[in-house]
């Protein structure tokens, strides 16, 4: 079913839905997915709604031709922080620009905890993405161990302060942040309860406001980690949750479009 509703946003604020397809989907699978997702969501007013898809690097160029940039933003899952150089295996901002990327995902939990990226590296990437006029999507989140020790808020504040070191308030206006608790992500993950997610989003909002003033308070905050059709409609109405960043439950276009439709229906009713 195609979505054709109009939607006025969350109390005037825009709402965001996106997916990172991780190391899944070939070029052909990505283009089928995007073509279908665009068909299913083309009728939705984008005035206060932003949709984005972050496929594998090899699929980016074809992906760009499957959906217009004003309807579905295209993101990269990672980016090196130099324009060019002796960085085997890295991808440069110039290369991403060339294929029409708009959003750069930085510091996903799997980059930090499986591949060993540090806050210093995320900071280099955020600054590089801003220099190249991308929208950086900085991902932060505590591990289960840190949560058990009562360190969640400190960890989030550290990741924000270190990751956004040297970023000006003017630049921060182009930033998005995703709260993705490590323990909530993936097949072994347990989704954060809407109350817990809202509480952490409040901490993040406060920290960003301390760092950047009013601009910081307006940075879109997305929740990610085992979002599904059931919990999406409970998470999205929360005042500090501006969007959902979804993995597995969004990798079929019809299912993703259904989650978007459900959320917009809930928001239109409040």
Please indicate whether residue 180 is annotated as part of the active site: yes
Could you give the angle at the alpha carbon of 225 between the alpha carbons of 237 and 39, nearest 5°? 70
- Considering the complex, what minimum distance in angstroms separates the CB of residue 14 from ligand PGA? 20
Least distance from ligand PGA to the Cβ atom of residue 114, Å: 11
Helix then strand then coil, % of the chain, to nearest 5: 45, 15, 40
Q: Are 216 and 253 in contact (CB under 8 A)?
A: no
Nearest residue (CB) to ligand PGA, 215 versus 250:
250
Minimum gap (Å) between residue 124 Cβ and ligand PGA? 21
- The structure tokens listed for 77 are 């899952």
User: Rounded to 5 degrees, what are φ and ψ at 59?
Assistant: -90, -10
Contact stretch for ligand PGA (CB under 6 A) within 77-85, 155-163, 181-189, 231-239: 181-189
Size of the site for ligand PGA (CB under 6 A): 14
Q: Does 186 bind ligand PGA (CB under 6 A)?
A: yes
CB 76 within 8 A of CB 111: no
What part of residues 192-251 is at the interface with ligand PGA (CB under 6 A)? 224-227, 245-249
Residue 51 pairs in a beta bridge with 17
Query: Collapsing DSSP states into helix, strand and coil, what is residue 77?
Result: coil
The smaller minimum CB distance to ligand PGA, of residues 215 and 221, is found at 221
Contact between 137 and ligand PGA by CB under 6 A: the answer reads: no
Is residue 18 involved in binding ligand PGA (CB under 6 A)?
no
Per-residue burial over 168-192, b = 16 or more CB atoms within 10 Å of its CB, e = otherwise: eeebbeebbbbbbbbbbbeeebebb
Q: Can residue 189 be called a binding residue for ligand PGA (CB under 6 A)?
A: yes
Cite the beta strand spans of 102-185 per DSSP E.
Answer: 103-106, 135-140, 176-179
Q: Is 199 a catalytic residue?
A: no
Candidate list 108, 117, 122, 171, residue with the active-site label:
108
Nearer to ligand PGA, 184 or 215 (CB): 184
Kindly state the smallest distance separating residue 144's Cβ from ligand PGA, in Å.
14
Taking CB atoms, the residue at the shortest distance from ligand PGA is: 247
CA 39 distance to own-chain centroid: 22
Please report how close the Cβ of residue 85 comes to ligand PGA at its closest, in angstroms. Answer: 29
Q: How far is the CB of 84 from ligand PGA (least distance, A)?
A: 29
DSSP annotation of 86? S
Cβ neighbors of 96 (< 8 A, separation 6 or more) are 60, 76, 79, 104, 132, 134
The answer to the question of residue 141 lying near ligand PGA (CB under 6 A) is: no
Please report, for the chain, how many H helices and E strands are present, in that order.
12, 8
The residue (of 77 and 92) whose beta carbon lies closer to ligand PGA is 77
Q: Which is nearer to ligand PGA, 164 or 244 (CB)?
A: 244
What residues act catalytically?
A: 108, 180
Binding region for ligand PGA (CB under 6 A): 20, 180, 185-186, 189, 224-227, 245-249
């Amino acid at each position: 079913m195609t979505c054709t509703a109009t939607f006025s946003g969350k109390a005037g604020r825009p709402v965001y839905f996106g997916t990172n397809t991780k190391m899944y989907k070939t070029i052909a699978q990505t283009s089928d997915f995007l073509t279908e997702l665009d068909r299913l969501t083309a009728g939705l007013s984008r005035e206060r709604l932003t949709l984005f898809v972050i496929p594998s690097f090899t699929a980016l160029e074809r992906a760009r031709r499957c959906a217009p940039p004003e309807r579905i933003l295209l993101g990269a899952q990672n980016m090196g922080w130099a324009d060019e150089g002796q960085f085997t295996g890295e991808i440069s901002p110039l290369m991403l620009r060339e294929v029409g990327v708009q959003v750069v995902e930085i510091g996903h939990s799997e980059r930090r905890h499986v591949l060993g990226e540090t806050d210093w590296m995320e900071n280099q990437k955020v600054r590089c993405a801003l220099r190249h006029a991308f929208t950086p999507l900085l991902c932060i989140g505590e591990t289960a161990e840190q949560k058990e020790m009562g360190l969640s808020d400190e960890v989030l504040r550290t990741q924000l302060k270190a990751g956004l070191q040297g970023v000006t308030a003017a630049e921060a206006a182009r930033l998005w942040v995703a709260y993705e608790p490590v323990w909530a992500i993936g097949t072994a993950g347990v989704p954060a309860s809407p109350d817990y997610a809202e509480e952490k989003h409040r901490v993040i909002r406060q920290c960003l406001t301390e760092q950047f003033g009013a601009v910081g308070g307006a940075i879109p905050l997305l929740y990610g980690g085992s979002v599904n059709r059931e919990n999406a409609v409970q998470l999205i109405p929360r005042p500090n949750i501006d969007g959902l960043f979804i993995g597995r439950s969004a990798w079929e276009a019809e299912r993703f479009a259904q989650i978007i439709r459900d959320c917009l229906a809930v928001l239109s009713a409040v």
